[in-house]
């Protein structure tokens, strides 16, 4: 039966008896359960009945009661069973509005695991206590009779030397970052003002035309801003005709025809500063080439934006990192694959600088189809490749060798080679990590010529995935919009 | 009732601040938070409940709750929306809270570049460590030769201070949220 007194000692349920033995339990009073005045590790048995369900800090109380136990001592806990006592699945309890939590064996066990250190205890008993419970009574008029609680017995044990692993690794001093002292950065984001904007487009005619879409976009996204456009004087009239911006300023950073005069950009700095002395919230350089990007530094501006990286232009607050290989050759990567990584089979032979076969010059031998050389089994990333074997074949052009290239043992092409024609192999790798192989073989029923193989060159095509200048510049304007309007600029938190 | 939500786990241990630091942080928050009745909810999956016990254990149960596995996802989202502050690692919860405009502190490990992967949002405070091995792009904590020094060296006191400052800053915003983002003060350029 459910207890109705807040102070009376409750009888021990029969299942607890075996854990009490001859010891005298310390009974936790329901009205004052903290027991702060009791010495730690002084009790053999502590009995806490019908308390936990009504206290706010169950973890603190469980830890406190547990702390009263000597090693080997037992904490006997009894709490009302949600399904038998309250007969409810959620608070508030109609019958017991003071309840803070409802219990099942699982929830009680969960609280014990939260409160106590692993391996400081063992659970010796956890069970429903329904002795004499009247399952036939509907409980509407009278509270249910009989056992209606959950019982748990926790034994305090000596903690072992070893610990339950968290899976975390102990920290060690990390290497210093050479460019900053060791510190914790605290950063926040902020938007930039965009009331006064200056855009530099210090270009020749073609570049200016290619930049018009970006200029139109700038007008659209910074609709309310006062914008100054700075262009070469030869583009000034065209810039005014666009009728996009409040101000158009002519400034010649370099001559209209650069072949006519020596270009001295640094000599133009003073004129540039004199022309644009005001303060700008935002300064954007829409020139693709980076040689005039430094003019941004000579503007008084809160935020500077341009193409490139901060490695190239440390003064940029917003930068669109463009593909650094865009000016490179289409064959972006070339690998020399020497002969060492290949296998040579007899009658082929190996020297320190080649793999070779010496045929009898008088009566060349017919060998059947012999694979003289194969390898090197290097792994390739997806892309378009050209393999150029470095191969010399003796003879007058009538003696043949069979060459082929394979990836993951699938042929990517084969061809016949003679002293006057060494084929090259173009192939496409689709899957990452494909295993590349090149083979040299004789032809069946034909004598093989003498040859020397020195390895080969593997070229990968690249740098074709560049954007148009108009697209780069329009993307830069979009990036500036996002940073200043939506995502913000990362700043040191000055409050830190 | 106001709540600080703490999400100690990402999908990769290389991005997780040490659990002992989280436990210490909670103590500092309880001491420093001006809402002396506010809750601290530690969230995660059911499988993270045991680990989280070690984080909540030293603290009073009526203020600090192990919610791992207790809330269905829609309830988690709602909890994040209403939170006074969300504290997490470089992981989805910080991104989500940041996108809501909730005051968010992201303890950002060194495995990735913060400029590329930081959570966006005008009430996000980003904490990261300047360290020479970052970014390492490792994906498991056990492979780090420095015991995640990039995270371990960010102290609980620094995170607590950042959280309290982020909440205070948000309290001065209209609505307590970053509905109206801050405008950068003139001259403050990193």
Nearest 5°: phi and psi at A484? -90, -15
**Chains A, B: CB pairs < 8 Å:** 172
A2 domain-assigned = no
Interface contact A190-B142, CB threshold 8 A = no
A8 domain-assigned = no
Q: CA-to-CA distance for B109 and A441, rounded, in angstroms?
A: 55
pLDDT band at A329 (very low <50, low <70, confident <90, very high): low
A174 domain-assigned = no
Question: For residue range B97-150, what is the model confidence (pLDDT) as tens digits?
Answer: 999 999 999 999 999 999 899 999 889 999 999 999 999 988 876 688 899 999
Q: Which residues of A touch B161 (CB under 8 A)?
A: 496
Q: What share of chain B is helix, strand, coil (3-state, %, to 5)?
A: 40, 15, 45
Residue A58 reports pLDDT greater than 90 = yes
Residue A311 sits in the same domain as residue A347? no
Looking at residues A280-293, what average pLDDT do you find?
A: 95
A42 domain-assigned = yes
Interface contact B61-A303, CB threshold 8 A = no
Q: Give how far A85 is from chain B: nearest CA, Å.
A: 23
Looking at residues A457-469, what average pLDDT do you find?
A: 78
Decide: residue A199, CB within 10 A, 0-12 exposed, 13-18 middle, 19+ buried.
Answer: buried
Question: For residue range A11-30, what is the model confidence (pLDDT) as tens digits?
Answer: 899 999 999 999 999 999 98
Q: Which residues of B touch A121 (CB under 8 A)?
A: none
Residue A479 sits in the same domain as residue A448? no
Residue A261 sits in the same domain as residue A346? no
Question: For residue range A181-227, what is the model confidence (pLDDT) as tens digits?
Answer: 899 999 998 878 889 999 999 999 999 999 999 999 999 999 999 99
Query: Residue A474 maps to which CATH number?
Result: 3.40.50.2000
Residue A19 sits in the same domain as residue A149? yes
Which pLDDT does position A327 carry in this prediction? 59
User: A370: phi > 0 → left, psi -120 to 50 → alpha, else beta; which?
Assistant: beta
B168 domain-assigned = yes
Question: For residue range A307-319, what is the model confidence (pLDDT) as tens digits?
Answer: 998 888 999 999 9
Question: For residue range A401-448, what is the model confidence (pLDDT) as tens digits?
Answer: 999 999 999 999 999 999 999 999 999 999 889 999 999 999 988 889
B90 has a chain A CB within 8 A of its CB = no
Question: For residue range A380-399, what is the model confidence (pLDDT) as tens digits?
Answer: 988 889 999 999 999 888 88
Structural domain boundaries, residue B114: 3-176
Structural domain boundaries, residue A479: 196-322+470-492
Report the share of chain B in percent with pLDDT over 70: 89
Residue A19 sits in the same domain as residue A146? yes
Best interface-test mutation with B: which of A55, A56, A65, A169 has the largest number of B CBs within 10 A?
A169
Interface contact A59-B145, CB threshold 8 A = no
Which pLDDT does position A334 carry in this prediction? 77
A386 domain-assigned = yes
Looking at residues A119-148, what average pLDDT do you find?
A: 89
Residue A68 reports pLDDT greater than 90 = yes
| Mean pLDDT for all residues in chain A | 90
B1 has a chain A CB within 8 A of its CB = no
Q: Give how far A444 is from chain B: nearest CA, Å.
A: 52
A170 domain-assigned = no
Q: Give how far B90 is from chain A: nearest CA, Å.
A: 14
B34 has a chain A CB within 8 A of its CB = no
User: A301: phi > 0 → left, psi -120 to 50 → alpha, else beta; which?
Assistant: beta
B182 domain-assigned = no
Which pLDDT does position B186 carry in this prediction? 39
CB count within 10 Å of CB B146 equals 20
A396 domain-assigned = yes
Nearest to A189 among B110, B124, B152 (CB): B124
Interface contact A496-B165, CB threshold 8 A = yes
Interface list for B 35-54 with A (CB within 8 A): 49-51, 53-54
Q: CA-to-CA distance for A239 and A242, rounded, in angstroms?
A: 5
Which pLDDT does position B45 carry in this prediction? 95
Q: Which residue is listed with tokens 């501006």?
A: A301
Query: Residue B46 maps to which CATH number?
Result: 3.40.50.2000
B12 has a chain A CB within 8 A of its CB = no
B188 domain-assigned = no
Nearest 5°: phi and psi at A290? -90, 0
B166 → chain A, closest CA residue: A188
Which pLDDT does position A336 carry in this prediction? 87
- How many structural domains are present in chain A? 3
Best interface-test mutation with B: which of A51, A186, A317 has the largest number of B CBs within 10 A?
A186
Q: Which residues of A touch B133 (CB under 8 A)?
A: 174-175
A60 → chain B, closest CA residue: B60
B32 domain-assigned = yes
pLDDT band at B181 (very low <50, low <70, confident <90, very high): very low
Question: For residue range B48-60, what is the model confidence (pLDDT) as tens digits?
Answer: 999 999 999 999 9
B169 has a chain A CB within 8 A of its CB = yes
Evaluate whether A359 touches A448 at the Cβ level (below 8 Å): yes
Question: For residue range A341-366, what is the model confidence (pLDDT) as tens digits?
Answer: 999 999 899 999 999 999 887 776 77
What is the ipTM for the molecules in this complex?
0.90
Residue A452 reports pLDDT greater than 80 = yes
A168 domain-assigned = no
Which pLDDT does position A323 carry in this prediction? 65
Looking at residues B25-41, what average pLDDT do you find?
A: 96
Q: Which residues of B touch A178 (CB under 8 A)?
A: 132
- How many structural domains are present in chain B? 1
């Amino acid at each position: 039966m459910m207890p109705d007194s807040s102070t009376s000692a409750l009888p021990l349920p029969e299942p607890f008896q075996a854990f009490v033995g001859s010891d005298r339990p310390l009974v936790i009073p329901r009205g004052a359960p903290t027991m702060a005045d009791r010495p730690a590790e002084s009790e053999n048995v502590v009995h806490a009945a019908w308390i936990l369900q009504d206290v706010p800090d169950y973890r603190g109380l469980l830890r406190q009661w547990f702390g009263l136990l000597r090693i080997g001592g037992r904490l006997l806990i009894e709490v009302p069973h949600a399904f038998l006592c309250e007969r409810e699945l959620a608070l508030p309890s109609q019958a017991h509005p003071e309840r803070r939590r409802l219990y099942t064996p699982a929830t009680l066990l969960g609280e014990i695991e939260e409160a106590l250190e692993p391996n400081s205890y063992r659970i010796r008993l956890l069970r429903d206590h329904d002795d004499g419970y009247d399952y036939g009574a509907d409980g509407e008029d009278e509270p249910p009779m009989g056992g209606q609680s959950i019982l748990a017995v926790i034994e305090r044990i000596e903690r072992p030397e070893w610990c339950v692993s968290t899976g975390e690794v102990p920290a060690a001093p990390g290497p210093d970052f050479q460019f900053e002292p060791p510190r914790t950065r605290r950063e926040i984001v902020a938007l930039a003002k965009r009331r006064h904007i200056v855009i530099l487009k210090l270009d020749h005619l073609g570049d200016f035309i290619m930049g018009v879409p970006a200029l139109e976009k700038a007008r659209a996204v910074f609709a309310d801003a006062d914008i100054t456009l700075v262009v070469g004087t030869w583009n000034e009239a065209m810039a005014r005709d666009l009728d996009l911006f409040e101000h158009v300023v002519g400034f010649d950073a370099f001559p209209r025809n650069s072949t006519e005069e020596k270009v001295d950009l640094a000599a133009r700095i003073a004129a540039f500063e004199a022309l644009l002395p005001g303060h700008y919230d935002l300064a954007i350089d829409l020139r693709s080439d980076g040689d005039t990007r430094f003019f941004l530094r000579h503007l008084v501006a809160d935020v500077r934006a341009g193409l490139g990286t901060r490695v190239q232009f440390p003064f940029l607050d917003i930068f669109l990192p463009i593909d650094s290989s865009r000016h490179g050759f289409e064959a972006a990567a070339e690998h020399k694959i020497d002969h060492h990584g290949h296998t040579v089979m007899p009658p082929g032979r190996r020297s320190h600088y080649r793999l070779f076969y010496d045929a009898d010059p008088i009566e060349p031998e017919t060998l059947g189809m012999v694979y003289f050389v194969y390898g090197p089994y290097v792994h390739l990333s997806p892309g378009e490749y050209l393999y150029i074997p470095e191969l010399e074949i003796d003879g007058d052009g009538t003696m043949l060798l069979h060459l082929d290239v394979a990836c993951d043992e699938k042929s990517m092409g084969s061809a016949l080679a003679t002293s006057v024609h060494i084929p090259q192999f173009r192939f496409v790798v689709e899957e990452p990590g494909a295993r590349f192989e090149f083979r040299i073989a004789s032809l069946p029923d034909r004598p093989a010529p003498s040859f020397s193989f020195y390895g080969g060159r593997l070229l990968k095509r690249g740098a074709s995935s560049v954007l148009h200048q108009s697209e780069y510049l329009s993307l830069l304007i979009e990036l500036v919009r996002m940073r200043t309007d939506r995502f913000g600029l990362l700043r040191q938190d000055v409050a830190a | 009732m106001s709540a600080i939500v703490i999400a100690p786990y990402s999908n990769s241990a290389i991005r997780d601040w040490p659990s002992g630091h989280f436990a210490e942080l909670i103590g500092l928050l309880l001491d420093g938070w001006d809402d002396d009745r506010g809750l601290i909810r530690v969230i995660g999956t059911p499988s993270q409940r045991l680990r989280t016990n070690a984080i909540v254990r030293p603290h009073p149960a009526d203020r600090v709750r192990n919610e791992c596995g207790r809330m269905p996802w829609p309830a988690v989202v709602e909890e994040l929306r209403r939170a006074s502050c969300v504290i997490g690692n470089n992981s989805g919860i910080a991104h989500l809270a940041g996108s809501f405009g909730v005051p968010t502190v992201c303890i950002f490990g060194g495995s990735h570049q913060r400029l590329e992967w930081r959570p966006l949002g005008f009430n996000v405070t980003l904490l990261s460590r300047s360290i020479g091995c970052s970014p390492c792009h490792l994906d498991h904590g056990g492979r780090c030769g420095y015991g995640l020094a990039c995270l371990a060296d960010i102290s609980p006191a620094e995170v607590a201070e950042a959280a309290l400052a982020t909440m205070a800053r948000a309290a001065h915003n209209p609505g307590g949220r970053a509905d109206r983002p801050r405008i950068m003060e003139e001259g403050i350029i990193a």
